[in-house]
Amino acid sequence: MKLVDNKATLSFSNGAPSVDLPVYAGNIGPDVIDIRKLYAQTGMFTYDPGFLSTASCQSAITYIDGDKGELLYRGYPIEQLATNCDYLDTCYLLLNGNLPNEGERKDFHKLVINHTMVHEQMQSFLKGFRRDAHPMAVLTGLVGAMSAFYHDSTDINNPEHRQIAAIRLIAKMPTLVAMAYKYGIGQPFVYPRNDLSYAGNFLRMMFANPCEDYVVNPVIERAVDRIFTLHADHEQNASTSTVRLCGSSGTNPFAAIAAGVACLWGPAHGGANEACLNMLEEIQASGGVSKVGEFMEKVKDKNSGVKLMGFGHRVYKNYDPRAKLMQETCNEVLAELGLENDPLFKLAKELEKIALEDDYFVQRKLYPNVDFYSGIVQRAIGIPVNLFTGIFALARTVGWIAQLNEMISDPEYKIGRPRQLFTGSVKRDVPPLAQR
């Protein structure tokens, strides 16, 4: 952190002494005011629910400029990574800080691809779930359970353990997601194959069965790899902050990542693409394109509680760069599969067109987010809607690990312990039962 030649002075109207607070600059982005000594100096806390103005850590992994619509992983624009690299290159970059050279790339791909199988007993654990359990419920359990299966990689303070856990998690997440899917539909699990790419292997584990193998279509393989790359990290969002907070107690890496999976499940976060597809299906069931106008009126009516899912973003107040890339992939996949005239996809295109032109959305800078298009792509590929968030979790696992490892290696890291503004009852005595 660079101390800048600019102090913030906090003064109080009640005459209490003012305090000077140091200011630090990042390499890009807003400076931060250091309030670590504020409580000691003033006896006061700051109040910032939802962390709208609070940097919870220093990080060198991902940078987002929401106004410009820019996303950088380790300095590289997402557009260049999505076009010139694959997901495993991106994983290497996020974990190690630099893109792999040819030899490093080969070794890293081999390392991950050779660790895709899970402990056979994991199947018995999985079989304890009801078949109709939501895949995110299953995944939260399976990822947490990895700590019970892989004892040699549970010490978060041991760099070697963290490295082994990282490779295990990245390698085995596709296997676990595909297993959760197969279990739900009552088909046998398909074992991974080391001669396929990371995305190709995932597609095969999802869609092959003992009666029929699955031939990987390169357009679909590229689309899935791109979904993974675009979701690999997104700096200090809710699930990543959850992973950091959970890991800050020194818990094992699998438990910390399981906490991230649980947080991602919510509809305001990773569950948005599922919510988006559900919304499309509801409009379709109620009359399709002819009902779009009526639906949009509801979206604009604040009392209706209806939101256009897949639109808007807390950070991006410009076009999400990932949405542009996903839109490109979406068009490619629909054309490859001959689905351009599918009613649901036509409906999605109509919503997109109206929202991009309508004053309500234009004035509020509400653009389609990555979930809008990734939901459509996944649906076109044949991935069931309730598995979308699981695929997001698979892709985000590397970001969570990179952020967790960064936190553990940070000399300034402390167990996370937010403060509160207490608004409950002041001290009182417990009345006898008859008087309550």
Ligand X SMILES: CC(C)(COP(=O)(O)OP(=O)(O)OC[C@H]1O[C@@H](n2cnc3c(N)ncnc32)[C@H](O)[C@@H]1OP(=O)(O)O)[C@@H](O)C(=O)NCCC(=O)NCCS
Q: Which of residues 264-283 bind ligand X (CB under 6 A)?
A: 268, 272
CB of 79 to ligand X, least distance (A): 18
314 binds ligand X (CB under 6 A): yes
Return the residue of 258, 308, 334, 381 that touches ligand X, per CB under 6 A.
Answer: 308
Tokens (6 digits) for 333: 């996949």
How many Å apart are CA 256 and CA 416, to the nearest integer? Answer: 13
Which span (178-186, 305-313, 338-346, 374-382) binds ligand X, by CB under 6 A? 305-313
Task: For residue 109, indicate whether it is catalytic.
Answer: no
User: Is position 313 annotated as part of the catalytic site?
Assistant: yes
**Nearer Cβ to ligand X, position 178 or 309?**
309
Nearest approach, Cβ of residue 237 and ligand X (Å): 9
Q: What is the DSSP string of 32-92?
A: EE--TTHHHHHS-----GGGTT---S--SSEEEETTTTEEEETTEEHHHHHHH--HHHHHH
Tell how far CA 13 is from the center of its chain.
43
The verdict on 311 binding ligand X (CB under 6 A) reads yes
Instruction: Report the C-alpha gap between 202 and 195 in whole angstroms.
Output: 12
Among positions 366, 376, 377, 407, the unique one binding ligand X when judged by CB under 6 A:
366
Given 240, 371, 375, 406, the residue binding ligand X (CB under 6 A)? 371
Read off the tokens for 33. 């005011």
User: Binding of ligand X at residue 312 (CB under 6 A)?
Assistant: yes
Distance CA 134, CA 395 (A): 18
d(Cα 306, Cα 359) in Å, to the nearest integer?
17
Q: Is 377 in the site for ligand X (CB under 6 A)?
A: no
Q: Tell which residue, 167, 170, 204, has the closest CA to residue 189.
A: 204
Candidates 89-97, 171-179, 302-310, 397-405 — which segment interacts with ligand X by CB under 6 A? 302-310
Q: Does 324 bind ligand X (CB under 6 A)?
A: no
Catalytic residue among 109, 371, 410, 429: 371
Per the CB < 8 A criterion, the answer to whether 389 and 136 are in contact is yes
Name the residues annotated as catalytic. 313, 371
In the complex, the residues that contact ligand X under the rule CB under 6 A are: 268, 272, 299, 307-314, 364, 366, 369, 371
